[in-house]
Structure 1
């Protein structure tokens, strides 16, 4: 059982590290033709429908309590309606790699929120990791090539707001009463988040474009966002929030920028400089220190026993 759990954790981290890193590219491609809140709404509602169909076929019970539905609604808003919706909107003004780079500050925000809300002490290894991560972030976002774009400041502020929302959501979900089945949990969060995004889209007067009028690249991007970015990766994310600590899950935002930068460079000709490469190396070192912290604690306890 322990061996199976370890494999699941590894696969789940692969999903949130690699697959989520690619969603920046997919969202950037899709938002060039589709309104942002409409895009996100269709993505999450479609994923929710597929999840419930799969659950029905597999005989998985989808009934939940009122409290669990309320918590799924709160989580859906924090993660998807606001946390993801405003980031997709911001991609109209900034490069996909830049968005991922800014969001890589999330582990620092998670640690600070846990300190403020839970009084949790920040361990030395985490402090070192955050410092290294912050240095890497600064090197990345201080590049003139990245920030001198029209309305980039507006996009940066909205991305920061979405990142704070996602960070608080990570802490909330870790202790909230949610459906025990991670697949069902994901389905309800996406259903509620998607419905709120739909309301937001209508409220902002977005024009809904028929699927038949989407280009092939947009259709393929949406398929990737729905199946891999939503169902696979988000289910993995919810699983990890219960299996490991929130600050460790947040380290995905250190790896995602590397993936986003490479994909943005390859498919969208977004620029990668020597400074970006150096910063990426520093960011990954920060990931090592944050991930190593818990292992060192567990190892010391084992030795005492």
Structure 2
């Protein structure tokens, strides 16, 4: 199945900036989940994610201030706290927690249900799904149910809870950032979100009693640096641009490209085992996402 055909067709009329943003969310994000797994050998989940977003947020905010961008207003900071707490605190914190006990490929396969959750949340704003979109949501739910019955999530109930919380938090944050909690304009808004979310994650790290080992493995540091530069400064900002300037469906199209990349990287580079049942379940989820996006395109 060619997983890039549909988004490329939908993106045909987009400008170069949005096309580059799509490429970043599809390809770069697909590799960051393996980087999270590698960094976990020395850096606990909340500390890893919190320090990553704080550093990226400081760098981005400093760059924008140097270019003359104003600081966010008080209301925009409050929005950044809410959205950053959901998308980064709950979303990325939960993802890293899940990867402690579940393979990175399976975690991303579960995350593929994100557009379906966003479509469900949009019901509260009166956006009813079409028949094709409803069929996609049904396929996605069946696929996730099959995925939870596989050996990966079956062996780690805690990992299943963590990734479920992560997906719900990210979906709610994404919808609220579009509907009712706008951030400051441009990259300064993204920086404020990373600063707020990073601070919350560092607080969670402190409260949960996370500690660093006496020596940190070099590969963990390299993986962390990759997450800061490519996962946060490049891919995350690209996603926020898509949320601001493209449809929610197109912005979340990364979710059916990422699992393929992440599962292949996990198997080939990290030695993760994915059973035939789990590949099938991931395929059912991806079919649901494709049907959903097809329905949005026809709408």
Would you say 1:49 and 2:25 are equivalent positions? Answer: no
Instruction: Report how far residue 69 of structure 1 moved.
Output: 0.8
Q: Distance in 1 between matches of 2:163 and 2:32?
A: 15
1:103 aligns with 2:111: yes
User: How far is the alpha carbon of 1:10 from its aligned partner?
Assistant: 2.1
1:81 matches 2:89: yes
Please give the residue correspondences for 1:22-61 in structure 2 after superposition, counting only pairs within 5 Å: 22-57=31-66, 59-61=67-69
Task: Choose the corresponding residue for 1:224, options 223, 226, 231.
Answer: 226
Q: How far does residue 281 in structure 1 lie from its aligned partner after superposition? A: 4.5
Q: What whole-Å deviation, never above 9, does each CA across 1:212-247 have from its counterpart, x for those lacking one?
A: x32121111011100111111111111111223324
1:295 aligned to 278, 294, 297, which one? 297
| Counterpart selection for 1:130 from 137, 148, 167 | 137
**Separation in 2 of the partners of 1:200 and 1:163?**
18
The range that moved more, 171-180 or 70-79, is: 171-180
> Relative to 1, partners in 2 of residues 1:278 and 1:86: Cα closer, same or farther, differing over 3 Å?
closer
Bigger Rg, which one:
1
Partner of 1:303: none
TM-fit CA distance, 1:187? 0.6
Matches within 5 A, 1:1-305: 5-57=14-66, 59-115=67-123, 117-144=124-151, 146-149=152-155, 152-175=156-179, 176-181=181-186, 183-208=187-212, 213-297=215-299
Q: Name the CA distance, whole Å, in 1 between partners of 2:146 and 2:245.
A: 33
Take 1:126 and 1:219, find their aligned partners in 2: how far apart are those partners? 42
Residues 295, 253 of structure 1: CA spacing in aligned structure 2 closer, same or farther, 3 A cutoff? closer
1:44 is displaced (CA, Å) by: 0.4
- Shift in CA distance, 9/282, structure 1 to aligned 2, threshold 3 Å: farther
Q: Hey, what's the Cα distance between the residues in 2 that align with 1:147 and 1:283?
A: 15
Alpha-carbon distance between aligned partners in 1 of 2:198 and 2:245, rounded to the nearest angstrom: 26
- How many residue pairs align between the two structures? 288
TM-score by length of 1: 0.86
- TM-score, scaled to structure 2: 0.87
Secondary structure, counterpart of 1:84 in structure 2 = helix
Checking the alignment, whether the CA contact within 8 Å between 1:174 and 1:242 is kept in structure 2 is yes
In 1, distance between residues paired with 2:138 and 2:12? Answer: 33
- 8 Å Cα contact 1:186-1:231 kept in structure 2: no
Distance verdict in 2 for CA 1:78–1:112, change over 3 Å: same
Instruction: Give the Å deviation of 1:274.
Output: 4.1
Q: Deviations over 1:113-157 (max 9, x none)?
A: 211x2122112232232233334444444333x2353xx111101
For the residue of structure 2 that corresponds to 1:64, the secondary structure is coil
Gaps of 5+ in 1: 298-305
State the shift of 1:261 in Å: 0.5
CA–CA distance in structure 2, aligned partners of residues 89 and 277 of structure 1: 22
Shift of 1:164: 0.5
- Return 5+ residue gaps in structure 2 as ranges: 1-10
Quote the offset at 1:166 in angstroms. 0.7
Q: How much is the aligned-residue C-alpha RMSD, in angstroms?
A: 2.3
* Farther-moved stretch of structure 1 (5-14 vs 160-169): 5-14
